[in-house]
A and B are shown apart, each in its own frame.
Chain A
Amino acid sequence: MFSPAVLYILLLVAGPFLLAVFYAFSDARIGNAEMHFVGLENFRSILQSPSFRVAIRNSFIFTICSQIVVLVGAHILAISLENTFRGRGVIRFLILLPWVAPIALGAIGWKWILDSIYSVITWVLVAAHIYKPFSAPMWLGEPRLAITSVLLVHSWRMLPFATVILLAGRTAIPKDIPEAAAVDGAGFWSTEFQIIVPMMRPIMSVAVLFGLIFTFTDMTVVYILTAGGPFDSTQTLPSLAFALGIQGSDLAAGAAISLFLVPLLVIIAYFMLRVAHRAEVT
């Protein structure tokens, strides 16, 4: 009965994973059939590479910061979408769009919005006389701005999902509870932070854990927006693994880099399972 699932996991998850482990301890290269066991050599050289250190730092910055932006933004959206008003359905649909659209399409859209020559943002800033023509910031060309841009696109991508989850969480709270808080004398902020948010913690952790995994393992946004540049300043673990392993033909290095994702994802997966289990029990 489970065999299709088992087969699927073996073929598509366990196989590539074991292959990656195997490559990581070898000197495999694309276009070269010879392969030797090299022990920890790949890991040693990766750890010494500055690009790798930047990639690890970026992976964490993108993941953690975008989750913070997403949580705050999704909260505000959920609060404003909770009450009925005219056009709520349309607005909910628009907010959900980034999630439904393929991530590559969204990223290409942003690439144009942030483009060095055709950027609509730059155009607006110039038109508003905030910047002179040709002196406007290069959104994807300067390390700090590029990092911020990637981060915001990641947030834009995860926002709809988190909003929908938080909205569901809010509507699941009986109306009596915030009303009781109002009668008890709590204002907006204390009702929000002492009652509503703590009550939504389980469902919020689902949104956060999903967001962590999606953002941490994603390479599309970085690859399309900056391809890791300028000067590898926006590389993340997945994009660096792709750049070195596939584009740079150094399969062994790419495999070793992607293995660094494993411990972190194991931890996140553990917490996800715990949350799911707790949701089942209560």
Chain B
Amino acid sequence: MAVVETRDLTKIFKEGQIGAVNNVNLETREGEFLVFLGPSGSGKTTLLRMIAGLETPTSGEILIGGRVVNDLSPRDRRIAMVFQSYALYPHLSVYKNIAFPLKAQKVKKGLHKEKVEWAASLLGISGLLDRKPRELSGGERQRVALARAIVREPAVFLLDEPLSNLDAKLRASAREELERFHRRVGTTSIYVTHDQVEAMAMGDRVMVLNKGVVHQLGTPTDVYDNPADTFVATFLGSPPMNLVELGDVIVGFRPEHFRPASASPDDSVPFRFKVENTEYLGSEWIVSGTLIGGKLEGKEISSRLGSARDLHLGDICNFVVPRRELKFFDRITEKRVEPRALSWQ
């Protein structure tokens, strides 16, 4: 097991352009499950590929287990990677796929069988060892890829969107399985995804990236409840945090904190809200509309409610947000600032 560290890591693909990854400083913790979260093009995969050794950094250092590995080839970094496509070797059986890293690393042949069987049983694919990858379902392929990654007991696990090729139903169960697998193996893992649900559910910590820059690194609660800037605030949460400009600050509040006045505690900010659309999602409702009156006239806001049966299109209702749920961001830098008193009217 090992800690992965990057120091001012930068990757510029084309000279003169802004980097795909810019000055990333990061340190994992022993055995943690760290998630890189960001939209496509945010540099999260490039960052992961640099750690894996598949991409050469333009500048900066990568350390694995305290050793600078910049000049080491992927094979010498003691890492294992699960690719988005799984990258199984199509001409080899599942057994040979899992055994390949052992063979490549010149592990004694006598040990192969035992290790492959151990990895296969860990992932519940012992019955598939004779099959070829094309005869497997998506979920099974993913498990083979994991087994191939775990078989030589790597120091670090790198996972590049391993669930994105699965259908929605399978994804939920595969996610749970992956969490359980990580708890059992306890290897430091870095997981790349653009899916905030995966990031929140699986990550010990989440690193939010955009355009090659780290916006925030923190626990899922941290990044959700205390976003460092407006990007994190709007990238996480569905629908995203409501942001309204007031003077020199941007005020944000989560849709679930924007509620009808009756259900609110005392210390809260009142709003007049015109309902323009309601969506029923089974366990909850998403209500969207605009604010009426005051400085915020016409601002579009969404709300997430347990029930919106009493709300009708066109209704103008009293809504409130508890004052402690308000987040404040600087209007220029868009970074989080201390709460302050504001005149809302």
| CB of B90 closer than 8 Å to a CB of A | yes
The answer on a CB contact under 8 Å between A184 and B85 is: no
Given contacts A174-B85, A176-B85, A187-B75, contact A182 B90 (CB under 8 A): no
Contact with B along A172-213 (1 / 0, CB 8 A): 001011011111111100100011001101000000000000
Q: Give the residue of A183, A187, A190 whose beta carbon is less than 8 angstroms from that of B54.
A: A183
| A102-116, CB < 8 A from B | none
Q: Mark B69-107, 1 if CB is under 8 A from A, else 0.
A: 000011100011101110101110000000011011100
Assess A183 versus B90: contact at CB under 8 Å? Given A174-B85, A176-B83, A176-B85: no
Q: Knowing A184-B148, A185-B152 are in contact, say whether A179-B87 is a contact too (CB < 8 A).
A: yes
Contacts of A184 in B (CB 8 A): 75, 80, 100-101, 104-105, 148
Question: With A176-B83, A177-B87, A177-B89 known to touch, is A183 a contact of B100 (CB < 8 Å)?
Answer: no
In the complex, are the beta carbons of B81 and A180 less than 8 A apart?
yes
Contacts of B152 in A (CB 8 A): 185
Tell me the A135-183 residues at the B interface (CB within 8 Å).
174, 176-177, 179-183
Establish whether residues B81 and A183, one from each chain, have CB atoms under 8 Å apart when the complex forms: yes
Q: Specify which chain B residues have a CB less than 8 angstroms from the CB of A190 in the assembled complex.
A: 103-104
CA of A180 to CA of B100, assembled, Å: 10
Count residues of chain A with CB under 8 A from any CB of chain B: 18
A194 to B91, CA, bound (A): 10
- Interface contacts (Cβ under 8 Å), in number, total 61
Contact of B83 among A180, A198, A199 (CB under 8 A): A180
Q: Which residues of B sit under 8 angstroms from A195, Cβ to Cβ?
A: 89
Q: Which of B191-221 contact A (CB under 8 A)?
A: none
Q: How far apart are the CA atoms of A25 and B226 in the complex, in Å? A: 96
Chain A residues, CB < 8 A from B105: 184-185
A186 and B87 within 8 A (CB): no
Which residue of chain B has its CB nearest to the CB of A174?
A: B85
Q: CB-CB < 8 A to A179: which residues of B?
A: 54, 74, 81, 83, 87
Bound CA span A183–B52, Å: 7
Chain A proximity of B122: nearest CB distance (Å): 18
Most buried by B among A179, A190, A195, A199: A179
CA distance in complex: A198, B90 (Å): 10
Contacts of A182 in B (CB 8 A): 53-54, 73-75
Distance (whole angstroms) from the CB of A183 to the closest CB of chain B:
5
A174-B85, A176-B85, A190-B104 known; A183 and B79 CB under 8 Å? yes
Q: Pick from A181, A185, A187, A198: contact of B91, CB below 8 A.
A: A198
**Shortest Cβ distance from A97 into chain B, in angstroms?**
33
Q: In the assembled complex, which residues on chain A have CB atoms less than 8 Å from the CB atom of B100?
A: 181, 184, 186, 194
0/1 string, A231-255, CB within 8 A of B gives 1: 0000000000000000000000000
Q: Mark B50-63, 1 if CB is under 8 A from A, else 0.
A: 00111000000000
Contact B87 A176 (CB under 8 A): yes
A51 to B168, CA, bound (A): 72
Given contacts A182-B75, A183-B81, A186-B75, are A174 and B87 in contact (CB under 8 A)? yes
Chain A 224-282 interface residues, beta-carbon cutoff 8 Å to B: none
A253 to B106, CA, bound (A): 60
Q: What is the CA–CA distance of A194 and B89 in the complex, to the nearest angstrom?
A: 10
Contact, CB under 8 Å: B91 / A199? yes
Q: How far is the CA of A211 from the CA of B79 in the complex (A)?
A: 43
Q: Which residues of B contact A199 (CB under 8 A)?
A: 89-91
Question: How far in angstroms is the closest Cβ of chain A from B91?
Answer: 5
CA A174 – CA B85 in complex, angstroms? 9
Rounded to whole Å, the gap between the CB of B50 and the closest CB of chain A is 13
Rounded to whole angstroms, the CA-CA distance of A174 and B83 in the bound complex is 11
Q: Which of B52, B85, B90, B101 touches A185 (beta carbons < 8 Å)?
A: B101
Asked if B87 contacts A180 (CB within 8 A), the reply is: yes
Would you give the 0/1 interface string for B213-253, flagging 1 where the beta carbon is closer than 8 Å to chain A? 00000000000000000000000000000000000000000
Residues of chain A within 8 A of B91, CB atoms compared: 198-199, 201
Q: A190's closest neighbor in chain B, by CB?
A: B104
Query: In whole angstroms, what is the CA distance A195 to B100 when docked?
Result: 10
Residues of B within 8 Å of A194, CB to CB, are 100, 103
Chain B residues close to A by CB (< 8 Å): 52-54, 73-75, 79-81, 83-85, 87, 89-91, 100-101, 103-105, 148, 152
A-B contact pairs, 28 of them (CB 8 A): A176-B83, A176-B87, A179-B81, A180-B81, A180-B87, A180-B89, A181-B89, A181-B100, A182-B53, A182-B73, A182-B74, A183-B54, A183-B74, A183-B79, A183-B80, A183-B81, A184-B101, A184-B104, A185-B101, A185-B104, A186-B75, A186-B104, A187-B75, A187-B104, A190-B104, A194-B100, A194-B103, A198-B91
Given contacts A181-B100, A181-B104, A186-B104, 13 further A-B contacts (CB under 8 A): A183-B79, A183-B80, A184-B75, A184-B100, A184-B101, A184-B148, A185-B74, A185-B105, A185-B152, A190-B103, A190-B104, A195-B89, A199-B89
